Structure 1
Amino acid sequence: MELFAPDETAAIEQALIADGANLRALPLERLGFYGGRPRPLPVAIGNCFYDEDEDWDERYAGNEPRREADRRQAQLVAGALWRGCARLLEGLFDDLCELGDLEAAGGDVQDFIENESEVLHGLPPAFAQEYDSYFVRRFLVVAADMTTKLAGKWTPPSCVAQELAVRCLVGVTDAYLDEVDVDVERGWGSYVFDALVEDADYEFLYDITSVGRREALLRMSHVDTINLGFNSWFEPFGDRPLSAFVDPEPPARPQLQPSEYTVDPEAFPGEARQSALDSGELEDLSYYTDEGPFTCPLAITREAREATVAAAPDPDNEEQTEQETDSYYRIIAAAAAAVQEEPDRVSARFNVPAQDGNGVWLTLVAGPDDAGGQHLTVQLATP
């Protein structure tokens, strides 16, 4: 069923082609049109690799309709992206207003993000609980900067958040093309990603929902990832510039009160720690610390892990790993203040909910390492 009459669709397409001229950072050759002899690029960029010695006219030899079809497709995509830039920013403003109202009224923010938001649902869903008004304001700034660069000279994204803004732009643009019933070949988004983003490491953030946090973070630990921890999304890549509004220190998170501190002895202090890691009495969980406000070695004792697994609401449930991982995240985040307040040795107790309602008491202990830094151990709390 057609959404628009043929004449209306033709008018929309002509308007898109005109708008596409504003997208100066993405010439048609970067959007899948190989007509003429494009200016060679210094490096290969995915599907948009150009060989300096190859005449792309050969692609269309004897097939002028194909040349025009490719040109028109690239023009339509360019125009849709231009309009998508405006829709992206407008959607973020709408999301910010609605989010502020929900926060003030104590409403269900996560449900809004997942089911009603204009743009925020396009961000990694595993971190939806972190998308508060402060985050959206910062994300809006890097998104606006991205749209400005698309109107002029493109420079690579300055941070992970701006890479995610590119992904959101493609999603918003794709929805717009469907809305106005303009037919373009699927897969056009790959040209945009190849042209604008240097690598796809940020895609691991979306994998977390499909393979579980633990598995995704394990995968992340074996590749060259940069700033993928949530608290690092707005940290600049190298010396790339960021707005002063984006770069400042985030607001302080809730801190533990001194009365909540409890000093427990470390289960495997000193040289015993490495022996316990080698024997399996301790399991290394260091890859989780990238998601907290600090980075240092982290391990959990076998007893603590087994008790946590046994206490899960349904130990046989396929989501058990993710529930367990969420518990580790809560422990790490809540203990951060204690670790930073008393660097020599401090521990804090936390309760992991259990099926019987009592839960399992765990302790996160910070101890000194040989290099003068700290390591963390999750263990059963002493009686």
Structure 2
Amino acid sequence: MTYVVTVDICIPEGTPELDPLQRAGAVALVEDGLDAVRAVEGPDGVQVDVLDTIVAVHPGGALLKVVVDAPALEFAEGSVQVLVDELLERTEVLADWTIERCEVELHQDLARESLAAADGPDAPPDDLALRRARHTAGAPSAQNAGEGADGPDGAATKARAARARMLELAAELRAFPPAVFGVEADDDRRAVPAESARLAAGALVHATDTLVDELFEDVQVLAQEDATVAECEGPLWHLERLPDRYALQYDARFARRFLVTVIALTTRFTDGSFQHLSCVAEELALRFLLNEATTTLELHDLLDDHVSTALANLADALCIDTDHDRVHHPTALLPFTSWFTPFTEDSYAHPSTTDEPEAAPQ
């Protein structure tokens, strides 16, 4: 079975953050180390095949997505842990880096349902499109349909839990103080309560993980079909919402670069180093993130006028137009080859995104 293992590796505590040159070097070292491995001997001597990897380095370390073929989740996580441990150990400049997380991320409810119904009538459908529709709709299985989980009491309990989780996550969005969301704003039309600002901030953090995982799935679909978005027959979460005029250019390579851009941007949001949007791709990424946060809040019935205003205030502060569901802002219509080009000399550019693809006919 194929698993996507997420690995967070961090620089030693107390050491200076990586500068752009160091980040470029770290990307090369990690990518080369992972590319050299095709299989890993996991726990109990089980061979686990490495199918694909994506590396995004940030000032405090790196985020890895490692796709493996393993007989069970435990073997997937264990083998990737061994792989990354050995990579760090044999690479002198990375030897002091540590693994903070190495896991297959599963939504608890979906994981429980899959385990309970693995061989029964409620097993998740094999067809990816059906899985996506089921996941998006949040359809309950027959197993829990009679438990009242979606009744009034259950819905209220879920909403309270979601609110508490969003408020807890808000502290992780270090780049934006409450004032950016409109707390204590002079204009009454833009002013929002502090809790509404925290809900908006927490939703953005929550949406980050969802967006990264779904974009990773988009990368895999395009890679498996060896197709562009215009040619792809499989379901895509997000890339179909990019400007249509370049749909034939959105291949797996582009999708990887865009995914790394999202990871680099959201990392700067959470580590507090964000200064401004650096390129067109980051503008597009932010629109996707705002849309994902809005969807998350709506799903949990947390999107009231104040929270909507808080998100709009953030978008205004970053000069992002959120009036349209599809991404057709004028900057998105700049030549495709310039989407990953930094706006200014001091704009941040992730090393994995700066290698321009060959120019395509416009």
The normalised TM-score by structure 1 is 0.47
Query: Based on CA coordinates, which of the two structures has the bigger radius of gyration?
Result: 1
Asked which structure has the greater RCO (Cα within 8 Å, sep 6+), the reply is: 2
TM-score between both structures, scaled by the size of structure 2: 0.50
